[in-house]
Amino acid sequence: MKAVRDTSQTMQRVKVGMIGLAAVVLLIAIASAILGSATREQPIATAGSAQANVVANIALTNSNSPPSTGEPLAELGVAPSTSNSQAVNQ
């Protein structure tokens, strides 16, 4: 009678182990699907963020600009130029 009980307990333990293993695999598959769908979403355009089409236009504009004089702040109009181009032109 003891051998019958051991076999049934062994089978029950195998069943519980297989169900547990299946549950873990299912949870991993669900988590992978959720994380995979999150990475495929398009980024949300928030206020003040860079937009791809605007950045592409800026890059094209910069490549067609004349060569720089080595004074980026003067080119932007933020700081005065150190060269005396006005005195030479007058």
Check pLDDT > 60 for residue 89.
no
Taking all residues of the chain, what is their mean pLDDT, rounded to a whole number? 76
- Asked if residue 69 has pLDDT above 60, the reply is yes
Instruction: Please calculate the CA angle 11-17-23 and round it to the nearest 5 degrees.
Output: 135
* CA dist., res. 75 & res. 38, Å (int): 43
pLDDT digits (tens, 9 = 90+) for 26-48: 999 999 998 888 777 666 666 66
Cα separation, 73 vs 82, whole angstroms: 11
Classified as helix, coil or strand, 49 is coil
Helix, strand, coil shares, percent, the chain, to 5: 70, 0, 30
Q: Give the pTM.
A: 0.41
